[in-house]
Structure 1
Amino acid sequence: MFFSLIGFLNIVLLWPLVLCSYLLNLENLVWEHMPWGLLFGAGALSLTANLLGNLGIACTFEMFLTLGLAFAVPISAIVDIYRHEVVFQGMKLAGILLILLGFMLVQLPDDWPDYLTMLLRYR
Protein backbone atom coordinates (compact mmCIF):
# COMPACT_ATOMS: atom_id res chain seq x y z
CA MET A 1 0.00 0.00 0.00
CA PHE A 2 2.86 2.36 0.82
CA PHE A 3 4.51 2.00 -2.61
CA SER A 4 1.12 2.54 -4.27
CA LEU A 5 0.67 5.77 -2.33
CA ILE A 6 4.13 6.99 -3.30
CA GLY A 7 3.46 6.20 -6.97
CA PHE A 8 0.09 7.95 -6.86
CA LEU A 9 1.57 11.06 -5.24
CA ASN A 10 4.36 11.13 -7.83
CA ILE A 11 1.83 11.02 -10.66
CA VAL A 12 -0.40 13.69 -9.13
CA LEU A 13 2.23 16.11 -7.82
CA LEU A 14 5.33 15.83 -10.01
CA TRP A 15 4.05 16.00 -13.58
CA PRO A 16 3.40 19.79 -13.39
CA LEU A 17 7.06 20.33 -12.48
CA VAL A 18 8.25 18.35 -15.50
CA LEU A 19 5.82 20.15 -17.80
CA CYS A 20 6.78 23.60 -16.47
CA SER A 21 10.50 22.90 -16.78
CA TYR A 22 9.97 21.79 -20.39
CA LEU A 23 7.73 24.74 -21.33
CA LEU A 24 10.03 27.31 -19.68
CA ASN A 25 13.07 25.79 -21.46
CA LEU A 26 14.70 24.98 -18.15
CA GLU A 27 15.28 21.48 -19.46
CA ASN A 28 15.45 20.52 -23.10
CA LEU A 29 14.23 17.04 -23.89
CA VAL A 30 15.48 15.68 -27.20
CA TRP A 31 13.45 12.53 -27.68
CA GLU A 32 15.82 11.07 -30.28
CA HIS A 33 18.74 11.16 -27.81
CA MET A 34 16.91 9.63 -24.84
CA PRO A 35 18.44 6.33 -23.66
CA TRP A 36 15.12 4.50 -23.80
CA GLY A 37 16.65 1.05 -23.36
CA LEU A 38 18.44 2.07 -20.17
CA LEU A 39 15.38 3.89 -18.83
CA PHE A 40 13.06 0.94 -19.43
CA GLY A 41 15.67 -1.46 -18.05
CA ALA A 42 16.09 0.61 -14.88
CA GLY A 43 12.31 0.84 -14.50
CA ALA A 44 11.90 -2.92 -14.93
CA LEU A 45 14.66 -3.64 -12.41
CA SER A 46 13.14 -1.19 -9.94
CA LEU A 47 9.71 -2.79 -10.30
CA THR A 48 11.24 -6.24 -9.86
CA ALA A 49 13.13 -5.15 -6.74
CA ASN A 50 9.98 -3.66 -5.21
CA LEU A 51 7.91 -6.76 -5.98
CA LEU A 52 10.59 -9.07 -4.60
CA GLY A 53 10.87 -6.89 -1.51
CA ASN A 54 7.14 -7.06 -0.86
CA LEU A 55 7.00 -10.80 -1.49
CA GLY A 56 10.17 -11.32 0.54
CA ILE A 57 8.58 -9.85 3.64
CA ALA A 58 5.47 -11.98 3.14
CA CYS A 59 7.37 -15.25 2.54
CA THR A 60 10.46 -14.95 4.75
CA PHE A 61 11.73 -13.06 7.75
CA GLU A 62 12.10 -9.29 7.57
CA MET A 63 15.74 -9.62 8.60
CA PHE A 64 16.65 -11.26 5.28
CA LEU A 65 15.27 -8.31 3.34
CA THR A 66 17.00 -5.84 5.65
CA LEU A 67 20.23 -7.79 5.30
CA GLY A 68 20.02 -7.68 1.51
CA LEU A 69 19.25 -3.97 1.43
CA ALA A 70 21.96 -3.13 3.95
CA PHE A 71 24.69 -5.04 2.15
CA ALA A 72 23.71 -3.98 -1.38
CA VAL A 73 25.73 -0.75 -1.24
CA PRO A 74 28.89 -2.22 0.36
CA ILE A 75 28.87 -5.20 -2.04
CA SER A 76 28.40 -2.82 -4.98
CA ALA A 77 31.35 -0.81 -3.69
CA ILE A 78 33.50 -3.96 -3.53
CA VAL A 79 32.50 -4.87 -7.09
CA ASP A 80 33.38 -1.32 -8.21
CA ILE A 81 36.80 -1.58 -6.55
CA TYR A 82 37.74 -4.86 -8.23
CA ARG A 83 35.95 -4.52 -11.56
CA HIS A 84 36.18 -0.80 -12.34
CA GLU A 85 39.20 0.09 -10.15
CA VAL A 86 37.29 2.82 -8.31
CA VAL A 87 39.06 4.38 -5.32
CA PHE A 88 36.77 5.32 -2.42
CA GLN A 89 37.90 8.00 -0.01
CA GLY A 90 36.55 10.05 2.85
CA MET A 91 32.82 10.57 2.81
CA LYS A 92 32.09 7.57 0.57
CA LEU A 93 33.76 5.22 3.03
CA ALA A 94 31.94 6.94 5.89
CA GLY A 95 28.64 6.45 4.08
CA ILE A 96 29.28 2.73 3.62
CA LEU A 97 30.15 2.38 7.30
CA LEU A 98 27.02 4.30 8.34
CA ILE A 99 24.88 1.96 6.24
CA LEU A 100 26.38 -1.06 7.98
CA LEU A 101 25.98 0.61 11.39
CA GLY A 102 22.34 1.36 10.56
CA PHE A 103 21.76 -2.30 9.74
CA MET A 104 23.24 -3.33 13.06
CA LEU A 105 21.03 -0.84 14.93
CA VAL A 106 17.90 -2.07 13.15
CA GLN A 107 18.67 -5.61 14.28
CA LEU A 108 18.73 -4.63 17.97
CA PRO A 109 15.58 -5.43 19.99
CA ASP A 110 13.05 -2.67 20.55
CA ASP A 111 13.83 -2.39 24.25
CA TRP A 112 17.63 -2.16 23.88
CA PRO A 113 17.79 1.25 25.63
CA ASP A 114 16.34 -0.42 28.74
CA TYR A 115 19.11 -3.02 28.72
CA LEU A 116 21.72 -0.31 28.23
CA THR A 117 20.27 1.69 31.13
CA MET A 118 20.34 -1.40 33.37
CA LEU A 119 23.97 -2.02 32.47
CA LEU A 120 24.97 1.56 33.23
CA ARG A 121 23.05 1.74 36.54
CA TYR A 122 24.20 -1.54 38.00
CA ARG A 123 27.89 -1.39 37.15
Structure 2
Amino acid sequence: MANYGYYLQLHPNTFETVRFIAISPKTEGFGVDEKHKTDKNGVPVWTVSALVKVPGGVQEMESFTLTTPAEIANKIKQIEELTAIRLIGLAGGKWSPLQTDKTSWSFQISGVEVLKAQQ
Protein backbone atom coordinates (compact mmCIF):
# COMPACT_ATOMS: atom_id res chain seq x y z
CA MET A 1 0.00 0.00 0.00
CA ALA A 2 1.32 3.42 -0.93
CA ASN A 3 0.11 5.91 1.66
CA TYR A 4 0.84 9.52 0.82
CA GLY A 5 0.91 10.50 4.48
CA TYR A 6 -1.38 13.48 4.55
CA TYR A 7 -4.96 14.07 5.55
CA LEU A 8 -7.14 17.05 4.74
CA GLN A 9 -9.76 18.36 7.14
CA LEU A 10 -13.25 17.49 5.88
CA HIS A 11 -16.43 19.48 6.44
CA PRO A 12 -18.32 18.29 9.55
CA ASN A 13 -21.38 17.63 7.33
CA THR A 14 -19.52 15.34 4.92
CA PHE A 15 -21.81 12.58 6.15
CA GLU A 16 -25.54 13.21 6.45
CA THR A 17 -25.83 10.56 9.16
CA VAL A 18 -23.33 8.56 11.19
CA ARG A 19 -24.37 5.63 13.39
CA PHE A 20 -21.92 3.97 15.75
CA ILE A 21 -21.21 0.27 15.25
CA ALA A 22 -18.05 -0.56 17.26
CA ILE A 23 -14.56 0.38 18.35
CA SER A 24 -11.68 -2.09 18.27
CA PRO A 25 -7.89 -2.02 18.58
CA LYS A 26 -6.06 -1.32 15.34
CA THR A 27 -3.46 -4.05 15.04
CA GLU A 28 -0.24 -4.57 13.15
CA GLY A 29 1.70 -7.75 12.51
CA PHE A 30 0.35 -11.27 12.05
CA GLY A 31 -0.28 -14.27 14.28
CA VAL A 32 1.85 -14.33 17.42
CA ASP A 33 3.49 -11.07 16.28
CA GLU A 34 0.15 -9.22 16.11
CA LYS A 35 -0.01 -6.31 18.55
CA HIS A 36 -2.11 -3.24 19.27
CA LYS A 37 -0.77 -0.41 17.13
CA THR A 38 0.40 2.78 18.87
CA ASP A 39 1.49 6.16 17.59
CA LYS A 40 5.06 7.48 18.01
CA ASN A 41 4.18 8.62 21.56
CA GLY A 42 2.83 5.21 22.59
CA VAL A 43 -0.85 6.24 22.46
CA PRO A 44 -3.07 3.34 21.28
CA VAL A 45 -4.69 3.52 17.84
CA TRP A 46 -8.27 2.30 17.41
CA THR A 47 -10.68 1.62 14.56
CA VAL A 48 -14.17 3.09 14.90
CA SER A 49 -16.72 1.40 12.63
CA ALA A 50 -19.85 3.30 11.66
CA LEU A 51 -22.75 3.19 9.27
CA VAL A 52 -22.56 6.44 7.29
CA LYS A 53 -24.62 8.13 4.61
CA VAL A 54 -23.42 10.89 2.31
CA PRO A 55 -26.09 13.37 1.20
CA GLY A 56 -28.10 11.75 -1.59
CA GLY A 57 -26.31 8.43 -1.13
CA VAL A 58 -26.96 5.09 0.49
CA GLN A 59 -25.81 3.91 3.91
CA GLU A 60 -22.42 2.17 3.91
CA MET A 61 -19.99 0.84 6.50
CA GLU A 62 -16.89 2.96 7.00
CA SER A 63 -13.88 2.79 9.31
CA PHE A 64 -12.19 5.71 11.05
CA THR A 65 -8.80 5.71 12.75
CA LEU A 66 -8.77 7.22 16.25
CA THR A 67 -5.66 7.69 18.39
CA THR A 68 -6.69 7.94 22.04
CA PRO A 69 -5.91 6.47 25.46
CA ALA A 70 -7.63 3.21 26.44
CA GLU A 71 -9.78 5.04 29.02
CA ILE A 72 -11.44 7.11 26.28
CA ALA A 73 -11.81 4.07 23.99
CA ASN A 74 -13.51 2.19 26.85
CA LYS A 75 -16.03 5.03 27.22
CA ILE A 76 -16.71 4.90 23.47
CA LYS A 77 -17.25 1.12 23.75
CA GLN A 78 -20.22 1.89 26.01
CA ILE A 79 -22.11 3.62 23.17
CA GLU A 80 -25.06 1.51 22.10
CA GLU A 81 -24.91 0.10 18.56
CA LEU A 82 -26.62 2.28 15.91
CA THR A 83 -26.59 5.37 18.15
CA ALA A 84 -26.33 8.61 16.15
CA ILE A 85 -22.88 10.15 16.64
CA ARG A 86 -20.82 13.10 15.44
CA LEU A 87 -17.26 12.55 14.26
CA ILE A 88 -14.94 15.15 15.77
CA GLY A 89 -11.95 16.31 13.73
CA LEU A 90 -12.89 14.36 10.59
CA ALA A 91 -10.07 14.22 8.07
CA GLY A 92 -9.63 12.19 4.91
CA GLY A 93 -6.82 11.10 2.69
CA LYS A 94 -6.55 9.09 -0.50
CA TRP A 95 -4.22 6.17 -1.00
CA SER A 96 -3.47 3.76 -3.80
CA PRO A 97 -2.42 0.13 -3.45
CA LEU A 98 0.86 -0.60 -5.17
CA GLN A 99 0.63 -1.75 -8.80
CA THR A 100 -2.86 -0.37 -9.43
CA ASP A 101 -4.47 2.89 -10.47
CA LYS A 102 -7.37 2.48 -8.02
CA THR A 103 -7.58 4.99 -5.17
CA SER A 104 -9.46 4.67 -1.89
CA TRP A 105 -10.35 7.00 0.96
CA SER A 106 -8.93 6.61 4.44
CA PHE A 107 -10.41 8.56 7.36
CA GLN A 108 -9.19 9.65 10.76
CA ILE A 109 -10.98 11.37 13.62
CA SER A 110 -9.98 12.93 16.93
CA GLY A 111 -13.12 11.97 18.84
CA VAL A 112 -16.73 10.81 18.90
CA GLU A 113 -19.74 12.58 20.38
CA VAL A 114 -23.19 11.06 20.93
CA LEU A 115 -25.90 13.20 19.36
CA LYS A 116 -28.83 14.07 21.57
CA ALA A 117 -32.14 12.60 20.43
CA GLN A 118 -34.36 15.19 18.76
CA GLN A 119 -37.60 15.80 20.61
TM-score for both structures, normalised by structure 1: 0.25
The structure with the largest strand share of the pair is: 2
Higher CA-based Rg: 1
TM-score for both structures, normalised by structure 2: 0.26
Tell me which of the two structures has the higher relative contact order, counting C-alpha pairs closer than 8 angstroms and 6 or more residues apart.
Answer: 2
